[in-house]
Structure 1
Amino acid sequence: MPNKPVSSAKFNEVVNSPKRSSRRVRRVILSLLAVILLGVIIFLLVPSPIEPTKWITPAGPSFKEPGPWQQNDKLSSPQLVTDAPKSPEFITFDKEGKLYTGDSDGKIYKVGFDADGNPQEAQVFADTKGTPNGLKFDANGNLIVTDVKRGLLSINPSGSIEVLADQVDGKPIYLANELDIAQDGSIYFSDTSNYGRVTFKEMAENKPHGRLLKYDPMTKQTTVLLEGLYFANGVALSADEDFVLVAESYHYQLTRYWLKGSKKGTTDIFAKNLAGFPDNITRDEQGHFWVGIFTTRISFVDQMHRSPWLAGTMAKVPELLLSGASAPAKHGLVAELSPQGELVESWHDPEGSLYGVTTAVNHNGYLYIGTAPGGSEGVHRLLLPK
């Protein structure tokens, strides 16, 4: 049977069909581009939630040049002490040598050691129902805790919790972070930010919102020693208790507040231009200060501080989309400082098996390492050279 001839109209329809499809695709693409462009214009026109302050950040120390910041592998191949706490922000020890650390879910763990120094299984000591960060035992055997959500707490040996302070001068303690305890029982602790939480907006804004506080156990009163700190973090007293240090994470420095002598009540910079964001500070028997560096310097952040427009624009981006920007670099770092604030040496893990370091504690021949959410998990330790 012969093929039925195709009409001229049908032929044109078949030939022109791909052209019409191509035009439809182009229209869709152009429409999408118009929507995206409109979204960008609206995003740029919306006012920023912050008014950033310009800061020309100093160039950070180089890990490649010879000197105490030179990269090494001293933090590599650590021994796992316990993985019960995923984010052991701070580490302390009781008089019997048991290790205590908190986790972001509110639990505080204790870890004993056998006769050979091997860690035993972790046990839950208490649950603050908050977020315990700083921990230190007082002279009476109570565990004093700075809890991000609940303030300054005291936990007796049986695990009973008492709130010591959650206000100062009639205002909330917004974000109790770290602490140290003087021989007279006075508790020095940081109130990180009146934002009440860790937020990228505060970093972008580059304005000081933190405080250093003091709690007097005799009067049960809390006072403000210092205001205007750039993300107040770790706290540590000197061996003679003539000054107290507080880390200003967002300005890469440690600030010293004098407690005694002719400089009493004044401040100065103890250590500046650190190679990253300083977190917690501990002091060893030699009077040296060990500083956990949560993350090494982030070039984009330094660039953002130089451009208030860029900082203000970034503050408009939803926090969920910026989670990667605040994640720690996978480079473990700890700084050891002399009693005068000079860098003695740095400890690195450039491979990033141990990173997001918040705490380094020199105890009984080992360096114990704690971390925060976003970093490696569990408590680790490394044998110190004799």
Structure 2
Amino acid sequence: MPNLPDFSATAAKDVSNSKHSSHKRIRSIGLILLSVILLGGIVFLLAPSPIEPAKWDAPAAPSFQEASPWQKNNKFSSAQLVADAPKSPEFITFDKEGSLYTGDADGKIYKVRFDAADNPQEAQLFADTKGTPNGLKFDTNGNLIVADIQKGLLSIAPSGTIKVLADQVDGTPIYLANELDIAQDGSIYFSDTSNYGRVTFREIAENKPHGRLLKYDPVTKRATVLLEGLYFANGIALSREEDYVLVSESYHYQLTRYWLKGPKMGTSDIFADNLAGFPDNITTDEQGHFWVGIFTTRIPFVDQMHRSPWLARFMAKLPESLLSGASAPAKHGLAAEFSAEGKLIGSWHDPEGLLYGVTTVVNHGGYLYIGTAPGGSQGVHRVALTK
């Protein structure tokens, strides 16, 4: 009887060959992928950066330890929710009747009334700019003046009718109208944050000044430039005597003063520097003190980029979507109170981070009302002031 073929051996050999071929294909695919990754990495490293950053040795951040004016505390930790309809209440203002107004990132502006016991009522929609309303303040005629990031400087009548006051200055666009204050003569001082036209990590990395301080004249109905070369021009506040106006330079941790009267009229200087974070909006109380919202405490990586332009060049090449976390606000609520002379009186904290991303602090009716921006906690809050 003839010998039968050894099918088991043949099958084993076929399986072995198949596995070998499969391993070869996997190795080949792996080598191709590795080559693509290495080539992509080389191209990425050799590609020019979209920015040429300026070097800056930022001062060391102030300490939150005991005996410092920035000493950590829990003054914000007991904050009460006033309204949750505005998710990101960038700025807060009040009308003559004591009702609160605030805008949201989706364009809507809300009104919150209070009962006889000072309890907040449900927020009501007042207007919709179809943009992003940030700065809000009433003029003497009862119109709500709005600095809208997308639309420019607006006036909203009590009926809700919206009118554009200015979207250009000296023949150039108002790129990012942010915050404002109104003088007794009706002049409106407001910030044009950056000619980037939006908030971008790339501008932080570049570390160059793209912001402006603007003034709108209600008589001539024209906007003019008062001051250029600001590092992310943000919050605006007039002094009680209206002899100067402050503007926050968020990316350099300072408040700049522009003189409107007196021997220094038309010049600027530093009002307060080396803040413990990125200053946002500024409001003034009845004592003439300035309250400053600190959107986030200092970010060590950002200061490192400023000291190392090569690192900034590298980071600017990355997609913006990958960088949002690098500039997200720390979960540490923070605000500061300054005297009219620029002395830090004290700071308010929530180190637990239940309230954070603070943009605005308004001293009104025995409370501090607190606003935030996208990336921070949501809703309008308040804490009681103690004597």
Q: TM-score, normalised by structure 1?
A: 0.96
- Following superposition, the deviation at residue 83 of structure 1 comes to 0.5
Contact 2:51–2:313 (Cα < 8 Å) also in 1: yes
Q: Distance in 2 between matches of 1:152 and 1:160?
A: 14
Amino acid corresponding to residue 247 of structure 1 in structure 2? S
- Which AA in structure 1 matches 2:239? S
2:158 aligned with 1:119, yes or no? no
* TM-score of the two chains, using structure 2 as the length reference: 0.96
- Which residue identity is paired with 2:255? L
Partner of 1:268: 269
Q: Which moved more, 1:241-250 or 1:319-328?
A: 319-328
Q: Is the 8 A contact 2:333 2:355 kept in 1?
A: yes
Q: Is the 8 A contact 2:139 2:182 kept in 1?
A: yes
The 5 A counterparts of 1:139-158 are 139-158=140-159
AA of the residue aligned to 1:80: L
Q: 1:124 to 1:6 in 2, by over 3 A?
A: same
1:66 corresponds to: 67
Letter of the aligned partner of 1:252 in structure 2? Y
Distance 2:12 2:180 in 1: 84
How far did 1:276 drift? 0.7
1:226 aligned partner: 227
1:55-94 alignment, distance < 5 Å: 55-94=56-95
TM-fit CA distance, 1:19: 5.2
SS in 2 for 1:185: coil
2:311 alignment partner in structure 1: 310
Deviation at 1:147, TM superposition (A): 0.7
Counterpart residue number, 2:29: 28
Deviations along 1:62-89, whole A, 9 cap, x unmatched? Answer: 2134311111111112111000111110
Which runs of 4 or more aligned residues in structure 1 lie more than 6 Å from their structure 2 counterparts after TM superposition? Answer: none
Shift of 1:305: 1.0
In 1, are the aligned partners of 2:334 and 2:350 still within 8 Å (CA)?
yes
Q: Distance in 2 between matches of 1:15 and 1:385?
A: 82
Q: What is the rounded CA distance, in whole Å, between the counterparts of 1:146 and 1:177 in structure 2?
A: 5
Residue 128 of structure 1: aligned partner: 129
Equivalent residue letter for 1:158: S
Give the superposition deviation at 1:275: 0.8
Letter aligned with residue 46 of structure 1? A
Q: Secondary structure at the match of 1:203?
A: helix
Q: Percent same amino acid at aligned positions?
A: 78
1:365 corresponds in structure 2 to: 366
Q: Which amino acid aligns with 1:362?
A: N
Preserved CA contact (<8 Å) 2:299 2:327: no
TM-aligned CA deviation for residue 50 of structure 1: 1.1
Structure 2 counterpart of 1:53, which letter?
Answer: A
Unaligned runs of 5+ in 1: none
Measured at CA, do residues 11 and 108 of structure 1 come closer, stay the same or move farther in structure 2, by a change above 3 Å? closer
Please provide the CA RMSD for this pair: 1.7
Code of the residue aligned with 1:56 in structure 2: it is: D
Equivalent-residue separation in structure 1 for 2:168 and 2:367 (angstroms): 37
Alignment partner of 1:166 is 2:167: yes
1:313 match: secondary structure:
helix
Matches within 5 A, 1:316-335: 316-335=317-336
Matching residue's letter, 1:332: G
Tell me the distance in 2 between the aligned counterparts of 1:298 and 1:308.
16
- Aligned residue identity for 2:123: A
Structure 2: 5+ residue runs without aligned partners? Answer: none
Residue number in structure 1 paired with 2:207: 206
Structure-2 separation of matches of 1:16 and 1:168 = 76
Distance (Å, rounded) in 2 between the aligned partners of 1:79 and 1:4: 86
Per the alignment, residue 107 of structure 1 pairs with 108
Q: Give the Å deviation of 1:185.
A: 1.0
- Structure 1 residue 161 displacement after superposition: 1.1
- The CA deviation at 1:17 is 5.6
Q: CA offsets per residue over residues 82-126 of structure 1, 9 Å max, x none?
A: 001111100000011000001111111100000000000111111
Q: Distance in 2 between matches of 1:337 and 1:91?
A: 19
CA distance in 1, matches of 2:264, 2:383: 38
Instruction: Please give the secondary structure, in 2, of the residue aligned with 1:255.
Output: strand
Mapped partners of 1:57, 1:24: distance in 2: 53
Give the alignment of 1:317-356 within 5 angstroms.
Answer: 317-356=318-357
Superposition deviation, residue 300 in structure 1? 0.8
Secondary structure of the residue aligned to 1:374 is coil
Distance (Å, rounded) in 2 between the aligned partners of 1:71 and 1:23? 61
**Amino acid of the structure 1 residue aligned with 2:104:** D
Question: What do residues 114-169 of structure 1 show as CA deviations (whole Å, max 9, x unaligned)?
Answer: 00000001111111111110001111111111111111111111111111111111
User: What residue is the counterpart of 2:186 in the other structure?
Assistant: 185
Which whole-Å CA distance do the structure 2 matches of 1:184 and 1:14 have between them? Answer: 91
Distance 2:74 2:81 in 1: 17
Q: Structure 1, residues 16-40: CA drift from partner, whole Å, max 9, x if none?
A: 6655544444433333222111111
Amino acid at match of 1:79: Q
Distance apart, 1:320 and its partner CA: 1.3
